[in-house]
C-alpha cells in the first residue's frame, strides 16, 4: 500500500484523534452521556447530548463540570467528577474495544506503522485509551498513545518536543473543533476527518481511505 519514494512524504509524524477518526465509536459515548443523565429528564439529556456533540475531543471531566454546575446547578467537586468518569468508563470501554474501524484505518496503520512515527492524542483519559489500544491489539502501531489530561495543544507540544519534529511536518488528523484548535495552537499541520460531524475550517477527508494520497500531495 505504501507509495514511494518515501522521500516525497510531506510529513515526518502523524497524530490521530481516536474516536471518529480511527474507530467508529462516537455514538457509543453519546449514548453513555445520555444514559448517565437520563434521570434528570429529557430536556437535560438533550442539552447534554448537544453539548457533547459540539465539543468532541474535549475531556469528559470538563464536560461533567459543565453539566453539573451550569445545566443542573449542582455542586461539583473533583471527587464527583471522578465518580462520573468511572461510571462512564464502565459503560463505554469494552464497547469501544469492539467498535468497527473507520474505513481505511486498519489498513493504513498496517501499512504505515513501521514507516512513519504514528501517535494517538485523544480526549479519552490517558490510562483508558492505552487499555483500549492494547485490547484492540494495535498499540504496537504507535510510537506513543496519549490521552487527557492535558488538552490537545499540550499533547501535540509534547509530541513535537519528544520527537524533535519540525512543527509544519507534524500532521494532526481529527474530527473535532478541539483537534483543529489544538493543532493551530501548537503550530502543527491539520487535516479533518469527518463523516458529517463538526464543520471544520480546514481540508477534510471523509475517512482514512484517502489519507495516503494526502501524505504525498504537493501543497
Which of 162, 91, 155, 165 has its CA nearest to residue 128? 91
- The 10s digit of each residue's pLDDT in 155-173 is 999 999 999 999 999 999 9
| Residue 2 pLDDT greater than 60, yes or no | no
Q: Within 10 Å of residue 54's Cβ, how many Cβ atoms?
A: 11
Strands 170-174 and 144-148 turn out to be unpaired
Whether 6 has a pLDDT exceeding 80, the answer reads no
Taking the chain, what is the end-to-end CA distance rounded to the nearest angstrom?
A: 22
Strands (E), the chain: 13-16, 118-125, 144-148, 170-174, 189-193, 204-205
pLDDT digits (tens, 9 = 90+) for 132-145: 999 999 999 999 99
Supply the pLDDT for residue 194. 83
Q: What is the pLDDT of residue 191?
A: 96
Q: Is the peptide bond before 132 cis (omega within 30 degrees of 0)?
A: no
Amino acid at each position: 500500500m505504501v507509495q514511494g519514494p518515501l522521500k516525497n512524504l510531506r510529513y515526518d509524524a502523524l497524530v490521530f484523534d481516536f474516536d471518529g477518526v480511527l474507530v467508529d465509536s462516537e455514538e457509543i459515548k453519546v449514548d453513555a452521556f445520555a444514559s448517565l443523565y437520563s434521570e434528570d429528564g429529557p430536556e437535560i439529556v438533550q442539552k447534554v447530548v448537544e453539548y457533547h456533540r459540539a465539543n468532541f475531543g474535549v475531556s469528559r471531566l470538563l464536560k461533567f463540570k459543565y453539566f453539573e454546575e451550569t445545566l443542573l446547578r449542582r455542586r461539583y467537586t473533583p471527587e464527583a467528577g471522578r465518580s462520573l468518569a468511572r461510571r462512564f468508563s464502565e459503560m463505554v470501554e469494552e464497547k469501544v474495544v469492539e467498535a468497527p474501524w473507520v474505513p481505511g484505518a486498519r489498513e493504513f496503520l498496517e501499512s504505515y506503522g513501521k514507516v512513519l512515527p504514528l501517535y494517538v492524542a485523544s480526549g479519552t483519559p490517558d490510562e483508558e485509551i492505552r487499555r483500549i489500544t492494547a485490547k484492540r491489539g494495535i498499540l504496537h502501531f504507535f510510537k506513543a498513545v496519549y490521552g487527557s489530561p492535558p488538552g490537545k495543544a499540550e499533547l501535540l507540544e509534547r509530541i513535537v518536543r519528544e520527537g524533535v519534529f519540525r512543527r509544519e511536518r507534524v500532521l494532526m488528523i481529527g474530527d473535532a473543533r478541539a483537534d483543529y484548535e489544538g493543532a493551530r495552537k501548537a503550530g502543527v499541520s491539520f487535516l479533518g476527518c469527518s463523516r458529517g460531524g463538526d464543520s471544520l475550517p480546514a481540508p477534510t477527508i471523509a475517512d482514512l481511505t484517502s489519507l495516503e494520497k494526502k501524505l504525498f500531495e504537493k501543497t
